[in-house]
Amino acid sequence: MSQGFGLSATARLALLQRLSKRKEDAGPAPGAARAFRELPGQRDMEMIREAAGALGLENPFFRPHEGIAGATSVIGNREVINFGSYNYLGLNGDARVIAAARAAMARHGVSASASRMVSGERPVHGQLEAALAAHYGVDAALAFVSGHATNVTVLGHLMGPRDLILHDAAIHNSCAEGARLSGARRIAFAHNDWRAAERELAAARRGARRALVVIEGHYSMDGDIPDLPRFIELARRHDAWLMVDEAHGMGVVGAAGRGIHEHFGVDAREVDIWMGTLSKTLSGCGGYIAGNADLVAWLKHSAPGFVYSVGLAPALAAAALESLRILHAEPERVARLQGNAALFRRLAREAGLDTGTSAGLAIVPVIVGSSVAAARLSQALFEAGINVQPILYPAVPDSAARLRFFLSSEHTEAQLRATVAALAAAMAGARPAEVTAPG
């Protein structure tokens, strides 16, 4: 694994010398500033910024979008083809979703103003939770104000020091942070390898009071999916709970977008805990847990991230509820999304690009094997009118650096073909021709 943003040892040394001289020229920093500069990762970030500047690379992150970020977006007064948003079904910006959010604001204001336990319910909260439970065919659901916080607070609260959490090595940061907070013994198994998971669980289960297996329904970095029936079997065999993070699966996986359980024809009640977010297909912001009524009631009265947090904004709850209604009423959106992702993956592979283990459902990485190369490709494509983010070290090993394409039901075939052609040209060392966003 590279430790230097894809730079050679000589280049890294030169950068470190430049950084050292710059610090000497600046003089000693005040105590607090000096302490902040010593925070973990600060020096690495500074070196990466310096390396990018030396290579003439712009910062590809935090670019302001001037309108709705869907299949296209406006960045810097220029319309670009956009592959950087989770707006999988094009519902963020749908007139019906906006109208629902406006109606909720007109009725309840912008904020819930306090914890739901303290300030009371808004009808839209209960309506959203009932719809989420019905989506999975389970007893109940509970909506939280943040998707990341949902995993942190639920895992941190549900499990304890005498317990075991077994999770996929590629699990989202929020799950890893929740597991760490819990104090439980944590074991990561090789990505998407249910056999490795079972070996680890069999070896560690006897010494644990409770055990929880955590996987994702659609992995955000690789775009692949787990063998859900196998994970259900191994969890049952070893008396463990199974939790599935469906953040990127809702509206994406399954013929009607109901998720990984629909894809495999599995009863959703076979999974003990469903987790998901409201910020992707459901075009809001927040998270949810769906499952057993006793579990949901316990979380509602005891989970710190729910009891001590402000309630979900009524407008966001209403937007998510309307998006869920449209998802169920218009499954053709899911078919278009899956068709676009499958086409993009096929075109990329035909062009000799490495798409890894992507299932071709909504997320298709193109692995280039160098953080510098990924950053350069992202910049070249942006200059050609295509917005796609690079995933760089340390988020992934330098050898696994990539561009990550989030597909939408609203992308056109022309846009997809033009994007693959531009990417292939850039990877071959040519300057890609400028493309037009409307397709």
Question: 185-202 burial by CB neighbour count: b if 16+ within 10 A, else e?
Answer: bbbbbebbbbebbbebbe
Over residues 215-219, the mean pLDDT reads 98
Own/partner long-range contacts of 75-78 (Cβ < 8 Å, ≥24 apart):
75/387, 78/385
Range from 187-196, 224-233, 396-405 carrying the lowest mean pLDDT: 396-405
In this chain, the answer to whether the domains covering 72-88+331-427 and 95-329 adopt an identical fold is no
Helices (H), 109-252: 116-119, 123-136, 147-158, 173-182, 194-204, 228-237
Q: How large is the average pLDDT for residues 7-23?
A: 56
Percent of the chain topping pLDDT 90: 79
The domain ranges of the chain are 9-54, 72-88+331-427, 95-329
- Inform me whether the pLDDT recorded for 59 exceeds 90: no
Query: Where is pLDDT greater, at 279 or 42?
Result: 279
Pick the CATH number of 72-88+331-427 from 3.30.470.10, 3.90.1150.10, 3.40.50.720, 3.10.180.10: 3.90.1150.10
Task: Give per-residue burial for 238-267: e unless 16+ CB within 10 Å, then b.
Answer: bebbbbbbbbbbbbbbbeebbbbbbbbeee
Q: Pick the range with the lowest mean pLDDT from 8-17, 190-199, 299-308, 346-355.
A: 8-17
**Structural contact between residues 373 and 429, judged by C-beta atoms closer than 8 angstroms:** no
Identity of the highest mean pLDDT range in 25-29, 40-44, 51-55, 137-141: 137-141
Please report the pLDDT score of residue 9 as a whole number: 55
Fold observed for domain 95-329: Aspartate Aminotransferase; domain 2 (3.40.640)
Q: Residue 326: pLDDT above 80?
A: yes
Global confidence as pTM? 0.91
Supply the pLDDT for residue 15.
Answer: 52
Confidence at 438, pLDDT banded by 50, 70, 90: low
The radius of gyration of the chain's CA atoms, rounded to the nearest angstrom, is 23
Any idea which of 147-161, 302-316, 321-335, 384-398 has the lowest mean pLDDT?
A: 384-398
What is the dihedral sign for C-alpha 17, 19, 24, 30? Answer: negative
- For residue 335, the model assigns a pLDDT of 98
Confidence of residue 2 (pLDDT cuts 50, 70, 90): very low
- Mean pLDDT over 323-344 rounds to 98
User: Angle, nearest 10°, between helix axes 194-204 and 228-237?
Assistant: 10
What mean pLDDT do residues 178-185 have?
A: 98
Peptide bond preceding 397 in cis form (omega within 30 of 0): no
Q: pLDDT value at position 61? A: 84
Q: Are 120 and 109 in contact (CB under 8 A)?
A: no
* Positions marked active-site: 220, 248, 280
Is 173 in contact with 311 (CB distance < 8 Å)? no
Q: How confident is the model at residue 204 (pLDDT cuts 50, 70, 90)?
A: very high
Segments of 21-145 assigned E as strands? 72-75, 78-82, 140-144
Percent of the chain with pLDDT over 70: 89
For residue 260, is pLDDT > 90?
yes
Q: 8: pLDDT confidence band, cut at 50, 70 and 90?
A: low
Residue 286 token pair: 């927040």
| Model confidence band, residue 36 (pLDDT cutoffs 50, 70, 90) | confident
pLDDT digits (tens, 9 = 90+) for 290-317: 999 999 999 999 999 999 999 999 999 9
- Which residue would you say has higher pLDDT here, 3 or 313? 313
Residue 413 clears pLDDT 50, i.e. is over it: yes
60-119: pLDDT as tens digits:
888 889 989 999 999 999 999 999 999 999 999 999 999 999 999 999 999 998 999 988
CA nearest 213: which of 273, 278, 153?
273
Q: What is the mean pLDDT of the chain?
A: 91
pLDDT at 63: 87
